[in-house]
Chain A
Amino acid sequence: MRRAIIGIILLLALSLLTFVLFFSSGVDVTRFACGKNCTPEKRATTEKALGYDKPTVVQWTDFLQGVVVGRDYPDDPELQRESPEIVTHCPAPCFGFSQVNAKTVNSLIAEAAPVSISLAMVAVFLWVLFGVLFGLIAAVRKGTWIDRGIVGATLVVYAFPTFFIGIFLLKYVAIKWQLLPFPQYVTIADGGVGEWFVNLLLPATTLALFYLAGYVRITRAFVLESLSEDYIRTATAKGLAPRKVLFKHALRAALTPLVTMIGLDLASLLGGAIITETVFSYHGLGALALRANVSYDLPVLIGLLLLAGAFVILANIVVDVLYAYIDPRVRLD
């Protein structure tokens, strides 16, 4: 409960900070919606339409009110009375209305989240599977060319920026060699699990390759440390099969740091993988954030920041709970 309250306070501070930074950037944020031939009169009308004519604190409290009780857009009682057909009701918790997209932020997040979640899940699956596997192999084959090859190769891949790997996979694997279809997000409902997965393979691999090296090294290091422990020697001396020693005892020691990493990495990915989504034209939360940033779409920026912040706070709580399950010595307060 204490953590939840702290989390809410953090999110409130985050939202206020975003409002303040947004309007103190030196950029005339109204200009983007006003467009070309932005006369002083047109600019003033546009500013009012966007609600940017109000003091920052008033805008922030209006936002908070929307989160608690919901809001109606346009936020003009006279317009709401004269033309109810143009009013969009945004029920609580309302994160705002994007004039750029002409949709509530809630609906934009609802549309983009499945893309980012799918991408994150497949990427996590790939990097955990291969990261742990290669880490184990490297640990077991310590000092051999296999160990050095795995660690070296993953580090080389890690050294490449994500956009390079993404563009390479897209340009060669999908377009030039046509080994996989040009990736376009397909929902499971539309294309089934197979098509959904195949279309996610290249962007997820791009992300997985970036994260892989860390997991290989963590797994390798903790398994090696465990293998030199007395209890492992005891288990081996008792005649336990080497595979059982490795998976049941040695690997378990690496689980705690791995779960911590997975939790935090997954949380940051759920907030959107901006570069990967941009390279592959996947319209997830990352691409939404980028567009909001370019078009100075404050409501979307606020909504996404709060969502990303909430993911990180939630992930920390979940990781703590999992600790207790993985390691009985750990208990929650």
Chain B
Amino acid sequence: MAKMRKRMVALSAVAAMTAAVLAACGGGSDNPPSGGSTGDGEASAKGGTLQYLQHFPFESTDPQRIYYGVELANFRRTLYRSLVAFPFDNDPDVANTPVPDLATDTGTSTEGGKVWSFTLKDGIKWEDGSDITCEDFKYGASRAFADDVLTGGAGFYIKGYLDIPADPKGGSMYKGPYRGDGQELFDKAVTCDGKTITYNFNKPWPDFPLSVASLMATDPYKESIDKGDRSKWVVMSNGPYKVDGGTWDVNKGATFVRNENYDPATDSPDLLRQANPDQINYELYTAPEPILDRLVADAGDDKNAVTAARIPPAYFSQIEGPVADRTATVESPYTNYLVPNQKTLTDPKVRQALAIATNVDGYIKAEGGEKAGVPAESIINPGLPGYTEQEMFSGSNEGDPDAAKALLEEAGVDLPYPIKYTYGQSETQDKTAAILKEGWEKAGFQVTLDPLADTYYDVINQPDKDSDVVWAGWGADWPSAMTVLPPLFDSRQNFATDANGNVTNLGQDYGYYQSDEFESLVDQAATAPDIDTQNDLLTQADTVLANDVAYIPLDTSTFYWLYGSGITNFMTDAASSSYPDLGPIGVTQ
């Protein structure tokens, strides 16, 4: 899961829809004064070259195929604009509220959130000088249905919501623009009237603008450049920069230069894109160490460098003196948690005992301390609307073995109670597993550790596995618990069954959890008329999960960043998923 870093923003309000205002706060709220920002979003000097050093390859630069949080955030600021976008700001309430980008406003919804309309601004252009049209947006959305050609991405959301009948043979009756079957159905679901695009959904989607700002599945795409899978690394920009040469190199990155057809008058530079550096050199490495060594040394061009590589514990000792002045610590949108197996730990008291005995403080210490994570009290990230500190998990973070033991005795089980803990093996995870084991065994469990490598996720999603508790991590796709609770605990969208109705795969519901009460609340939330109602229902659903001990929250990951001494306006905010935000950033020359 760690590899699948997803875009998640802490919370939001969508002003234009149903007068609903989200009210929670986000990951960046706990930034230390020296951390989150070196400025407050004020304009840096224009010019210079920013070095962006990255230690992993992207999955694609085709907007409809991008799903990595850091890529979504960076490209939104530089290459790909959309109808609405999240502004950069240290205040998460602001950073999670979409503002108009290519559209004139944040959208208008009718029919209780089932129909959404946006009108495009005048003068918006692609890097080749051609106008961005309503048809480009429509074509972009149609590509979500071509998942037999364009793998990856987050198009399944729009595909599931658009009002197009399902194919009895599987999938949608619309087969995407390359096959063309069912095109008339798509043309009814997404319509263009001049500069106004209208999306017709099969159910209310009150937080649609949040998904538009967070993901890129509904971004415009120019049909004339579309060559299917061959366009995977092609970039046709509509933002302040363009890729020199037009193609991203999956191994080397690219050089971003000014896009002469970008008109800042159609944008909101002070909110979304100051576009200060004249050039951005994206360099890819195969490991984080050389990047961090260069940033610590802070020599030459590296003074103007930022990175997507977090400082690992092995480098903590080097972060002192002037180097420490170039760091930022920020809570991330990602939550780590444990999943008890409901089929093997059938007694609720046993699951409760497991939760109470969990030594979260020790787990975090083994991860690297406060620079690696802070205790979580819910599967919902504190930055998300719908978050509430669940009473079930609000006790001591050190674990309470005595109370846990009492619960086990109350349950009447034989002690020591044997359990098997399965986790994805790594040096750090081995340490955290040892700490968890120690705490659980003090409470009367007898723990067998089961570290797995590549097969980890293939084992834990099996219904007949013998693991009693497994590790997992998650980040929401946009600031809504709808992108957290149902994907992880709704059996209907997770379980695969054979012809006889037997469950053959658990999907991401690793604990084999099924609750009519929970799923009823999810259904009510999905069709809620406004976001406030939706969030209230999701909070209730989370409480059901907590009371059933469907999960045990561990921690919210902390991001610990290092950047060059020449960087100005360094900022990590909710809009950038706590990665360095390229919107306000600048360099000294």
Specify which chain A residues have a CB less than 8 angstroms from the CB of B228 in the assembled complex: 74, 83, 85-86
Specify which chain B residues have a CB less than 8 angstroms from the CB of A234 in the assembled complex: none
| Chain B window 371-412, contacts with chain A (Cβ cutoff 8 Å), 1 for yes, 0 for no | 000000000000000000000000000000000000000000
Q: Assess whether A175 is in contact with B294, with CB atoms less than 8 Å apart.
A: yes
Q: Assess whether B458 is in contact with A28, with CB atoms less than 8 Å apart.
A: yes
The yes or no answer to A48 lying at the interface (CB within 8 A) is yes
Chief secondary structure at chain B's binding surface:
loop
Q: Assess whether B171 is in contact with A41, with CB atoms less than 8 Å apart.
A: yes
Q: Assess whether A287 is in contact with B148, with CB atoms less than 8 Å apart.
A: no
- Min CB distance, A98 to chain B, in Å? 10
The yes or no answer to B180 lying at the interface (CB within 8 A) is yes
| Chain A window 184-207, contacts with chain B (Cβ cutoff 8 Å), 1 for yes, 0 for no | 000000000000000000000000
Within 8 A of A (CB), among B56-110: 57, 59-60, 67
- Interface CB pairs A-B, < 8 A, 15: A27-B455, A31-B457, A34-B152, A35-B4, A36-B67, A37-B156, A74-B148, A74-B229, A78-B179, A82-B178, A85-B227, A86-B226, A175-B299, A281-B285, A290-B286
Q: Assess whether A278 is in contact with B250, with CB atoms less than 8 Å apart.
A: no
The yes or no answer to B151 lying at the interface (CB within 8 A) is yes
- Min CB distance, A190 to chain B, in Å? 13
The yes or no answer to A24 lying at the interface (CB within 8 A) is no
Q: Can you name the residue of chain B whose Cβ is closest to the Cβ of A30?
A: B151
- For the complex with contacts A83-B177, A99-B151, A102-B232, 15 further pairs of A-B residues with Cβ separation under 8 Å are A27-B458, A33-B151, A35-B152, A36-B4, A37-B154, A39-B494, A40-B505, A73-B229, A85-B228, A86-B149, A101-B250, A171-B293, A175-B290, A279-B286, A281-B290
Q: Assess whether B458 is in contact with A26, with CB atoms less than 8 Å apart.
A: yes
* Given known A-B contacts A36-B1, A40-B496, A86-B230, A283 and B251 have beta carbons under 8 A apart: yes
Within 8 A of B (CB), among A12-52: 25-28, 31, 33-42, 44-46, 48-50
Selected contact of A79 from candidates B6, B149, B171, CB within 8 Å: B149
The yes or no answer to B450 lying at the interface (CB within 8 A) is no
The yes or no answer to A178 lying at the interface (CB within 8 A) is yes
Specify which chain A residues have a CB less than 8 angstroms from the CB of B57 in the assembled complex: 291
Q: Assess whether B232 is in contact with A39, with CB atoms less than 8 Å apart.
A: no
- A280 to B294: give the CA distance in the assembly, Å: 13
- A50 to B57: give the CA distance in the assembly, Å: 20
- Min CB distance, B481 to chain A, in Å? 15
Q: Assess whether A170 is in contact with B487, with CB atoms less than 8 Å apart.
A: no
Chief secondary structure at chain A's binding surface:
helix
Q: Assess whether A182 is in contact with B294, with CB atoms less than 8 Å apart.
A: yes
Specify which chain A residues have a CB less than 8 angstroms from the CB of B536 in the assembled complex: none
Q: Can you name the residue of chain A whose Cβ is closest to the Cβ of B60?
A: A102
Specify which chain B residues have a CB less than 8 angstroms from the CB of A178 in the assembled complex: 299
- A269 to B502: give the CA distance in the assembly, Å: 50
- A167 to B314: give the CA distance in the assembly, Å: 14
- Min CB distance, A177 to chain B, in Å? 10
Q: Can you name the residue of chain A whose Cβ is closest to the Cβ of B1?
A: A36
Q: Can you name the residue of chain A whose Cβ is closest to the Cβ of B483?
A: A37
The yes or no answer to B465 lying at the interface (CB within 8 A) is no
The yes or no answer to B454 lying at the interface (CB within 8 A) is yes
The yes or no answer to A176 lying at the interface (CB within 8 A) is yes
- A287 to B286: give the CA distance in the assembly, Å: 8
Q: Assess whether B1 is in contact with A170, with CB atoms less than 8 Å apart.
A: no
* Given known A-B contacts A46-B147, A175-B294, A33 and B179 have beta carbons under 8 A apart: no
Q: Which 10 A-B pairs have the closest CB atoms?
A: A86-B228, A102-B232, A40-B496, A283-B251, A83-B178, A36-B4, A281-B285, A278-B286, A28-B458, A175-B293
Q: Can you name the residue of chain A whose Cβ is closest to the Cβ of B166?
A: A41
Q: Assess whether B252 is in contact with A40, with CB atoms less than 8 Å apart.
A: no
